[in-house]
Amino acid sequence: MFERISETRTLVTIYVDGRPVHARQGDTVAAALMSLKSPQVYRLSQVNGRPRAPYCMIGHCHECLVEIEGQANQQGCLVEVADGMRIRRQLGRAEVEI
Ligand code: FES
C-alpha cells in the first residue's frame, strides 16, 4: 500500500528478528518494518492472536508495539531507527484467563 518516492537518505542496517535489513536514516521503526516486503505480520494480538499492524503512526493506537533493544512494548511509530538496532516482532500470545 505504501511506496517510497525518491529517496536519498543514508541507509542503515537494522536487525529484525535477527535478520539484517536496510532502513533509511530518519525512518521510524514502524515505517522501516512496513517498507519490508517480508515479514507481513507486524505483531500478534495478545488477546486473540490475530495479526496486527501499525495504524495511526502518531502514537495513539498502540498497534505498532515491538521489542527494541530488548525492551518490549515499544511504540515503533515513535522511535527512529539507528544503525545496528535490534528489533523483534512480538508474536507471542498471552494466556488469558476468562
Ligand atoms: S501506529 Fe499507532 S501508536 Fe504506533
Ligand 1 binding pocket includes 62 (Cβ within 6 Å): yes
Ligand 1 binding pocket includes 57 (Cβ within 6 Å): yes
Domain count, the chain: 1
CB 80 within 8 A of CB 74: no
CATH code of the domain in which 72 resides: 3.10.20.740
27-49 per-position pLDDT tens digit: 999 999 998 877 677 888 888 88
Higher pLDDT, 87 or 43: 87
Atom in ligand 1 nearest the alpha carbon of residue 65: 4
Residue range(s) defining the domain that contains residue 60: 11-89
Q: What is the pLDDT of residue 41?
A: 78
Q: How far does CA 38 lie from the centroid of its chain? A: 12
Q: What is the pLDDT of residue 6?
A: 72
Ligand 1 binding pocket includes 72 (Cβ within 6 Å): no
Q: Is the residue at 4 inside a domain?
A: no
Q: Is the residue at 2 inside a domain?
A: no
CB 19 within 8 A of CB 85: no
Find the 50 Cα to ligand 1 centroid distance in Å.
17
